[in-house]
Amino acid sequence: MKIGGTLCCGSRRTNHALTATTSFLGAGHGLCYVASLSDRFRPGYCCDDSVYCASANLSFLQDEREEVIEAWYMDDSHEDQRLPHHREPKTFVSLDQLAELGVLSWRLDADNYETDEQLKKIREGRGYSYMDFCEVCPEKLPNYEEKIKNFFEEHLHTDEEIRYCVAGSGYFDVRDHHDSWIRVWVKKGGMIVLPAGIYHRFTLDTNNYIKAMRLFVGDPIWTPFNRPHDHLPARKEYLETFVQKEAASPAVDASA
């Protein structure tokens, strides 16, 4: 019997994913509904039978976007910005948590972007009439050192920033509701939308290369407003839409 919804098994109630079958998990691994949508499966933590859960093939439970888009809270190190900068212990952020910040994400067919019907529907539905490509690497980007430094300055835009990675990979860092940095690793096939007014920055990872499709509504405006620019209408609207509604909720300690 197939069960829809977010699932967990066993007494520890660790969240798994979207659908599963009771016959697959087997006797003694009862399923129950939980509130969050896409916390990742962690072998050995889903129930008391750690051997069973560690060996079970639960890959079909994973959101396919997570293969090309990952996110985690950053440490405070000033080492090479191209390093992952995980906290200890690692603290991952789900794509649903990113959506609560206004960050949208898709997994698309990067090898066939010219004929991809899903991309076409997204562009039509969201009004992305403009499109071009940007290759970021020392060999392809003029004034590379200056540009990469500017990309990594914390800033906002008054319009959405839409990036579709068709080759390579890179990090988009965004601020959460409590002003902590979340690092979003976008790889080939991953597309994200950063909402207008969110403070963010970009850097390459250690592969030193990304080719990204840039989309825009109407004529493109790439103007960055380095922090602080809290007086801008786009920033105020972002705070009203995504941050202030969370203020009444109990704060989650993201500094651990």
Is 231 annotated for ligand binding?
Answer: no
CB 170 within 8 A of CB 202: yes
8 A C-beta contact, residue 133 and residue 183:
no
> Is 85 known to sit in a ligand binding site?
no
* 78 is an annotated ligand-binding site residue: no
Q: Which amino acid is at 223?
A: T
CA atoms within 13 A on the CB side of 49: 12
Dihedral sign for Cα atoms in the order 79, 83, 84, 90: negative
CA gap 96, 38 in Å, rounded: 7
At residue 217's C-alpha, the angle toward residues 212 and 222, to 5°, is 60
d(CA 19, CA 173): 30
Judged on CB neighbours under 10 Å (0-12, 13-18, 19+), 172 is: buried
- From the CA atom positions of the chain, what is the Rg in Å? 20
The answer to whether 175 touches 96, Cβ cutoff 8 Å, is: no
SS3 letters for 123-150? HHHHCCCEEEEEEECCCCCCCHHHHHHH
> Would you say 155 is a known binding-site residue?
yes
Binding residues: 155, 157, 161, 200
Binding residues for Fe(2+): 155, 157, 161, 200
Binding residues for Ni(2+): 155, 157, 161, 200
